[in-house]
Structure 1
Amino acid sequence: MENYTMLQFFEWYYPADGSLWNHFRDDSRRLKELGFDAVWLPPAHKGMAGDTASGYDSYDLYDLGEFDQKGSVRTKYGTKDEFIAAIRAGQEAGLQVYADIVLNHMGGADEKEVVMVREVTPENRNEFASEPKEIEAYTKFTFPGRGGKYSEFVWDYQCFSGVDYNASTQETAIYSIQNQYGEGWQDVLDLENGNYDYLMLSDVEFRNPHVREELKRWGEWFYETAGMDGFRLDAIKHMDPQFFNEWLDHLRGKYNREFYAVGEYWAPYDLHSMHEYIAATEGRISLFDAPLQASFFRASKEVEAYDLRTIFDDTLVQTNPALAVTLVENHDTQPLQSLEQTVELWFRPLAYALILLREAGYPCIFYSDLYGSQYTDTGNDGQEHDITLAKLEGLETLLYVRKHIAYGPQNDYFDAPDCIGWVREGDDEHETSGCAVVVCAGEDQSKSMRMGERHAGKVFVDYLGHCDQQITIQPDGWADFPVKSRSVSVWAEKRD
């Protein structure tokens, strides 16, 4: 069985020049050669900010860069035709393509409506702070630029459970819409703020059966138009898990396709609620391992004070590896973003070794670590910051080792708080497979580990080039594998 790897093919600050789809199209064959098997693309639909929108501010799900709406035809990433061509190119190169979909909320409504609401307490959304009252809310979406093409469905206040702006008074608050589907929020698993159904903008009302049916129709249209292989599901902790059970079952049944799905249930310190979500969705959806990313962040900050032996404790990859998508960074955790929790540069190669060269989990590589990024934005301190994220040295080597060498039984040597290691013994399917990995947060040292008799007499070298010596595996399969301070070494059979 092959090792599979996903790439997140964007970062938050990717230039709004309409080039991303063509960039992926042109680089898809190289990505396959590097060892990638799947690519997650950002939202393709038009956002409320037009050609500068990331897509996470959904305006029109049917506008993939085809209609003159919100000040542009194309999206931030390109046109509809370019999006479709990029997917085709990726698939022809042998890549699975996952499309990011954002169904929790919508923004940029075309008309205001008079809506009956009750204001809620932000810290306890279940607590009403007002009696029912009327406000003017931006809740009517008619999509005049599209003119009913593909769908004539009009979204109005009955399609939303909450808003955060009263246009008549220009006041911002969290308002629960009082409609026929309930005066309170929908049931969600996350109990932060009492109930975390409401996240932002106009919150979609999944108790409305017309909404659910329209989103099924849209899902059919999206697949028949673009032909993606799976989905990344945004903000699922703010949605009733039964909706995605219904939605995915509908598409998988209609097209007799698996449609791989991975959800963003970002709960770095609440593994229990992630397991609850997996139970509620009965294993239909994989989840990003937010607790593991948080462990990487802490380890990179605490250095030798962090006990590396515990790095997988209370993580999804440890407790449910079949549904864990492991990662080091994403567009929300990168510098200056909403969930900023950036892993320090020195630890990033170590973290990638921990997700790429072990048996468990489905690793997802972040765009900036492969390509590098530069941008400027305002931080929480109110000051502008110039950010440079360099292309991560050694990442392509780690990808090579994952695809060609890191196979076979895994034996862990998690026996020192500042230095851990493991071996992959190799298998019969991959001729030169088998490697030893040492991760160190302390001083230079070495770790004695057993590769197995099948490697006896073989000469091993550090593929990352951090240690320049050669090691001969002893007749009993053991060897001492060096590693430099705050570094990682990947030892495998020397190639001619």
Structure 2
Amino acid sequence: MMNFVDDLREWIRTTVLPYRSPALRSMRRGPMTSPPGPNPLMIQFFTWDSLHPDMSWWKHFESEVDNLADLGFTQVWLPPPNKAMVPKGQGYDAYDLWDLGEFHQKGTTATRWGTKEELIKASASAQARGIDILIDAVLNHKIGADRTESFQAIPVDADNRLKEIGPEREIEGWTAFDFPGRSGKYSEMKWTEEHFTGLDWDHRNKEKGVFRIVGGKHQGWSKWVDKELGNYDYLLGIDIDHRHPDVQKDLFAWGAWVLQTTGATGFRLDAIKHMDRRFLLDFIKHARKVEGRQNLFAVAEYWSANVELIKPYIRAFEGLMTFFDVPLHHRFHDASKAGSHYDLRTILDRSVVKIRPGDAVTFVDNHDKLGKLLRAGLEIISSSKRMLSFYFAKKVTREYSSLFRCPHVCFTPTSRSCVFYGDLYPNKECYNEAIASKLKQLILARKKFAYGTQRDYFLEHNCIGFVREGTIQPVQGSESGGCAVVLSIGDDVEGESHVYTLRMNVGKVNGGGKYRPLLDPGSSQVETAADGWGLFTCHKGSLEVWVQA
């Protein structure tokens, strides 16, 4: 009976009750200054294969702090700073959260990214320039145990974790984490099989699969996770049981410690669909008790193209968590495949930014290998004459003459956008110098012009636009006149050039003025009527930002 009541309460809380206030309203989104600084903007400062040839990653970040501040970035999402299973592990192969590159463990003292001292120094430099730090928190699993243990487990169907495919038996698993190099500093907890729910390797029988640990005080998979594959508590490695009191105590303590140690003001939370959401909510609430973190910024990775599956999570986190807009990421992918057949007026449909803009963090690409499977949505043909998107990547094997970054999302005041390091900085994965140059132009345009009331003009099948009116009192480093943006999709036929025109109103206060094209300065200026109406253009398959002349 109690289980039924608990389930009913959770269903009401995540499905029936109204949404809380949008998360961004109560979150720190950049330096707290008076008067306020420029538009908040986040950057993910790493790719999957990031390694600097001449210095540690933390030193590289420190060397770029001034450049990032000048561009207008107010938040930097850093890679997981914890010790990984292997010396060059990215940190998602989490071994010891309490080792930030301080102890000799797993064959190294420094992490892939550098030493603890370098991280703290770089973070301090960023804060001095008005840039907040976000820590990538990998709390779902551990990998790289120090020794094996024997315990009871049941093999389950990898495609349905609720279906048992064999009897209970004793297996041997890599589940004992002693952290000998740290010797109990910061945390004395040693992890054993009692702190985990499952694993994917029986070392005794050299058998790979998904095994649910049973016996003792084990409670099975958590109920408060995504229902994909029956129950998606298990993802990889040794799955942490977030209901265990010792686990909660240690992770709550770590959250406070890592914020205080690094000076970070928030978290990016990895793989939340696989974690007990009640624990995660408590984790955020505990972190908000840290001095100066009452308005902690938190953004979650819930990887699903279906916004209906994200809605219950938005409710469950009570306005304390934002969400990467994965559905919008998929919309970009769909548009890239369809080209001129895609109706741009629908680009925001069924996205987080459409239903809950104050809970959305939009992005085009990130470090994740799964995300790279969707890179088709980000690949478009590069042109020396025009820019086809906010930023994009081109591969030799596949090319698409489409978008994206959708500037409507980038310029909108009610959501948050995250720029990807790989599209801005030289790297071997997805860099294009011409694209990076255009990206910088748009980032600076956002910093200088994207203010004031916004009006959307989603009027044409292959062409949309929007206007920001500007402000009477400009933000420091900005201009008051606002901007007009036009974006189109599709390819010009060889030998022909099609120009789209949108009639948009920049506001009566800006009427009777002239607007110049920012990205194609050779184009003619636009004169607006006294009532603010003007005809703004862009070439087919391109983007233009118009600002006051």
Aligned partners of 2:412, 2:257: CA distance in 1, in Å?
Answer: 38
1:43 pairs with 2:80:
yes
How far apart, in 2, do the equivalents of 1:478 and 1:294 lie?
34
**CA distance 1:491–1:299, change in 2 (3 Å):** same
SS at match of 2:459: coil
C-alpha contact (below 8 Å) 1:34/1:399 kept by paired residues = yes
Give 3-state SS (helix, strand or coil) of 1:454's partner: helix
- Mark the CA change 1:256 to 1:89 in structure 2 (over 3 Å): closer, same or farther: closer
CA shift at 1:112, angstroms?
0.2
In structure 1, the gaps of 5 or more residues are 376-386
Tell me how far apart the structure 2 counterparts of residues 338 and 394 of structure 1 sit (CA, whole Å): 25
Show the counterpart of 1:383.
Answer: none
CA deviations 1:289-318 (Å, max 9, x no partner) are 101111112112211011100001011111
Q: CA deviation at 1:179?
A: 3.9
1:164 to 197, 200, 214: 200
Give the secondary structure class of the aligned counterpart of 1:253.
Answer: coil
Q: Deviations 1:342-394 (Å, cap 9, x if unpaired)?
A: 5123554252523222233101000011113214xxxxxxxxxxx65545231
> What's the CA shift for 1:181?
4.0
Structure-2 residue corresponding to 1:284: 320
Give 1:479's match in structure 2, choosing from 514, 528, 534. 534
Aligned equivalents of 1:254, 1:482: Cα separation in 2:
50
Deviation per residue, 1:234-292 (Å, 9 max, x gap) = 01110111112111212212425222111111112x21221111111111111101011
SS of alignment partner, residue 421 of structure 1 = strand
Matched position secondary structure for 1:162: strand
Shift of 1:476: 2.5
Residue equivalent to 2:221: 185
- With over 3 angstroms needed to count, the CA separation of the structure-2 counterparts of 1:321 and 1:100, relative to structure 1, is same
Query: 1:314 is paired with a residue of what secondary structure?
Result: coil
User: How many Å apart are 1:82 and its aligned residue?
Assistant: 0.4
Correspondence list, 1:200-349, <5 A: 200-255=236-291, 257=293, 258-268=295-305, 270-332=306-368, 337=372, 342-346=377-381, 347-349=388-390
One-letter amino acid of the counterpart of residue 379, structure 2:
E
Aligned equivalents of 1:392, 1:132: Cα separation in 2: 55
Q: Secondary structure of 2:47's match? A: coil
Residue 22 of structure 1 corresponds to which residue in structure 2?
59
Deviation at residue 156 of structure 1 after TM alignment? 0.2
1:434 matched to 2:482? The reply is yes
Residue of structure 2 aligned with 1:53, choices 83, 89, 92: 89
* Local SS of the residue matching 2:199: strand
Structure 2 SS opposite 1:145 = coil
- 3-state SS of 1:91 partner: helix
Partner of 1:34: 71
Q: Distance in 2 between matches of 1:341 and 1:215?
A: 37
**Corresponding residue of 1:490:** 545
Q: Deviations over 1:427-468 (max 9, x none)?
A: 212253321110011442211111122222322111112762
Asked if the contact 2:89–2:112 (Cα under 8 Å) also holds between the matched residues in 1, the reply is yes
Question: Which has the larger displacement, 191-200 or 289-298?
Answer: 289-298
Structure 2 portions without partners, runs of 5+: 1-35, 382-387, 391-403, 491-497
Separation in 1, partners of 2:540, 2:370: 25
Q: Could you tell me whether the CA contact under 8 Å between 1:126 and 1:184 is conserved in 2?
A: no
**Matched AA of 2:446:** R
Q: Cα gap change, 1:194/1:38 in structure 2, threshold over 3 Å: closer, same or farther?
A: same
In structure 2, the partner of 1:401 is 445
Residue 359 of structure 1 corresponds to 413
Could you say what secondary structure the match of 1:74 adopts?
coil
* 1:451 alignment partner in structure 2: 506
User: Retained in 2: the 8 A contact 1:326–1:355?
Assistant: yes
Q: 2-side partners of 1:389 and 1:452: how far apart?
A: 37
Do the aligned partners of residues 47 and 333 (structure 1) sit closer, same or farther apart at CA in structure 2, a change above 3 Å counting? closer
Tell me the SS of whatever aligns to 1:28: helix
In 2, the alpha carbon distance for the partners of 1:94 and 1:136 equals: 50
- Please say if residues 333 and 342 of structure 1, whose CA atoms lie closer than 8 Å, have aligned partners that are also in contact: no
- Select which of 189, 194, 199 maps to 2:235: 199
* Comparing 281-290 and 471-480, the one that deviates more: 471-480
Task: State which drifts further: 429-438 or 115-124.
Answer: 429-438
1:339 CA drift (Å):
6.0
Distance in 2 between residues matched to 1:355 and 1:188, nearest whole Å:
31
Note if 1:422 corresponds to 2:466.
yes
Answer yes or no: is the 8 Å Cα contact 1:8–1:39 preserved in 2.
Answer: yes
Mark the CA change 1:181 to 1:492 in structure 2 (over 3 Å): closer, same or farther: farther
- Match for residue 165 of structure 2 among 120, 129, 133: 129
1:6 aligns with 2:54: no
Cα distance in 2, alignment partners of residues 435 and 358 from structure 1: 12
Could you say what secondary structure the match of 1:414 adopts? strand
8 Å CA contact 2:408–2:466 kept in 1: the answer is no
TM-score by length of 2: 0.84
- In the alignment, which residue of structure 2 is the partner of 1:378? none
Where 2:261 maps in the other structure, the secondary structure is helix
The letter of the residue matching 2:336 is: S
Residue 144 of structure 1: how far off its partner (Å): 1.2
SS of corresponding position for 2:92 = coil
Structure 1 position 464 matched with structure 2 position 519: yes
Q: Give 1:412's match in structure 2, choosing from 456, 467, 474.
A: 456
Determine the C-alpha separation between the residues in 2 that align with 1:246 and 1:189: 15
**Number of the residue aligned with 2:128:** 92
Q: Distance in 1 between matches of 2:507 and 2:67?
A: 34
For residue 425 of structure 1, report the CA deviation from its aligned partner: 1.5
- Alpha-carbon distance, 1:127 to partner: 0.7
Deviation, structure 1 residue 130: 1.2
Q: Structure 1 residues 153, 220: CA separation in 2 closer, same or farther (over 3 Å shift)?
A: same
Q: Identity over the aligned pairs, expressed in percent?
A: 40
Alignment coverage as a number of residue pairs: 480
Contact 2:157 2:165 in 1 (8 A): yes
TM-aligned CA deviation for residue 334 of structure 1: 7.9
Supply the distance in 2 between the matched residues of 1:412 and 1:250 (Cα, whole angstroms).
Answer: 40
The one-letter code matched in structure 1 to 2:150 is V
Shift of 1:64: 0.7
Query: Matched residue of 2:331: which SS?
Result: helix
Tell me how far apart the structure 2 counterparts of residues 218 and 11 of structure 1 sit (CA, whole Å): 25
Amino acid at match of 2:192: D
